[in-house]
């Protein structure tokens, strides 16, 4: 199941920040929640982030590329040694 990159973590971050508010401002929590969610969503949108799926795909590509490079380096060493 794929979800927007910021949905769950953003809500968790909002909850953590709201938990830090003093008890006396509980009536402001609803306003604070919406303002905080909007501000955090805006800030996160400006960051150059990738999804976990995209990160894993690129990690796999990098691992394959490294393996091919190591194989080619070994082949070059063999050719230099015997050539």
Q: Where are the domains of the chain?
A: 1-49, 50-83
Cβ partners under 8 Å of residue 11, min gap 6: 37
Do residues 58 and 66 lie in contact, with contact meaning Cβ atoms separated by under 8 Å? no
- For the chain, the average pLDDT equals 83
Mean pLDDT of 42-66: 92
pLDDT in tens, 21-41: 777 776 777 777 788 888 888
Runs of H (alpha helix) within the chain = 7-19, 29-46, 52-82
């Amino acid at each position: 199941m794929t979800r927007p990159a910021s949905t769950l973590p953003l809500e968790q971050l909002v909850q953590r920040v709201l938990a830090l508010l003093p008890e006396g401002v509980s009536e402001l929590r609803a306003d604070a929640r919406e303002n905080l969610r909007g501000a955090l969503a805006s800030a996160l949108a400006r960051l150059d982030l990738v999804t976990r799926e995209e990160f894993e795909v690129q990690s796999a590509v990098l691992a394959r590329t490294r393996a091919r490079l190591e194989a080619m380096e070994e082949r070059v060493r063999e050719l230099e040694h015997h050539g």
